[in-house]
Amino acid sequence: MRVLLYRDLTAAQLAALQTDFPDCEFRVATTAGELARETDWPEVVFGNAPARLLQQATQLRWLQIVSSGFDEYAALQDHGVTVTTGQGLHAPIIARHVLMMILLFTRGQWHFARCQQEHRWDRKPLLPKPTEGQTVGLVGFGGVGQEVARLLQPLGYRILALKRQHSGAPPAGIDRVFLPEALDELLAESDQVVLSLPLTPETRGLFGADRFARFKAGAIFHNIARGSLVDESALLENLRNGKLGGAALDVFSDEPLAPNSPFWGLANVIVTPHIAGHHRELGAQVLQRFRVNLRSYLAGNSVAPAANFLRGY
């Protein structure tokens, strides 16, 4: 079994793989150039290798990626490749990142950080709000949305959730559930909106000028999903004209965010470099998922969680 590792593994990790899987031949590539020289070799690839190169990998049958989203690998569906993802591994830390950002805006900390840089003692322009009575709208109620709701519930936030399908009473701790056609109603009620939908043909560009017009005045927008769900020019306009009170943005249409992007300079925006789902132990967790899947693959069994190309998530 020929396995290409597109990950910067330690010598100890590589040795352990070779010991535990003696029937596999492992090669390592850590750059696109190295990968390009190996495209005809591997049956299995571990890591988020450039999709354009993997489409040239004629022997590839299984790809294990680190990320939960797999939109960039959609073309592999036509190549008979099974893609397994990191789904479920990122949700807890992403939810904590979102909680941090929600509290930063609720308590006005982004403003006070600016005051500190300016050596300015200013208590009046932005009085911090209590968490009780604030409404958070979760646009997407998968693993991330559910974990965000769990963290917010003890703090007294009113929580709304958008789900693709729903019937009966709302899930525990959720005040109200909205179906996709009622998204604008959810936005109009929310003080802070958290976008965690997958990128699919249906969700691409979902948040444009018309949608931002539906937001409550002064609302805060959080995007930890994909930049392409948002018309960034419309978002920028609504941040500049005061329709939106602020934004916490971890993802952008083009990454890395260009040094001259106007988002960097907006006082009411917190930019993070697509880092919400990362932490120091994530690499070990993803490697363990790969090891479990590799053992299953070698035994002729299924690997999981497999990307559903038709559904898009």
Same domain, 165 and 23: no
Q: Same domain for 193 and 81? A: no
Residue 126, pLDDT above cutoff 80: no
Residues 195 and 82 in one domain: no
116, 274 Cβ separation under 8 angstroms: no
- How confident is the model over 106-118, as pLDDT tens digits? 998 888 888 899 9
Residues 118 and 195 in one domain: yes
**């209590």: which residue's tokens?**
130
Q: Are residues 135 and 212 in the same domain?
A: yes
Kindly report, residue by residue over 29-47, the tens digit of the pLDDT.
999 999 999 999 999 999 9
Domain count, the chain: 2
311 in a domain, yes or no?
A: no
pLDDT in tens, 160-195: 999 998 888 899 999 999 999 999 999 999 999 999
Q: Is 274 a catalytic residue?
A: yes
Condensed to tens digits (0 to 9), the pLDDT of residues 254-302 reads 999 999 999 999 999 999 999 999 999 999 999 999 999 999 999 999 9
Strands 176-178 and 192-195: unpaired
What is the spatial order of strands in the sheet that 62-64 belongs to? 25-28, 2-5, 44-46, 62-64, 82-84
Q: Which segments of the chain are extended strands (E)?
A: 2-5, 25-28, 44-46, 62-64, 82-84, 135-139, 158-162, 176-178, 192-195, 219-223, 244-249, 269-271
Amino acid 125: pLDDT:
59
CA distance 291 to 306: 15
- Which residue in the list 222, 226, 232, 289 is annotated as catalytic? 226
| Catalytic site residue from 204, 255, 281, 295 | 255
Instruction: Determine whether 255 is an active site residue.
Output: yes
Give the mean pLDDT of the chain. 95
Identify the helix (H) or strand (E) that includes residue 189: helix 183-189
Q: Within this chain, do residues 262 and 291 fall inside the same structural domain, yes or no?
A: no
The verdict on pTM exceeding 0.95 is no
Residues 6+ positions from 293 with CB-CB distance below 8 Å: 64, 84, 303, 304
Give pLDDT, residue 12: 97
Looking up residue 167, the CATH number of its domain turns out to be: 3.40.50.720
Residue of 27, 61, 176, 274 marked active site:
274
Q: Is 90 a catalytic residue?
A: no
* pLDDT tens track for 203-254: 999 999 999 999 999 999 999 999 999 999 999 999 999 999 999 999 999 9
**CA-closest candidate to residue 144, choices 191, 103, 89:** 89
**Structural domain boundaries, residue 172:** 91-271
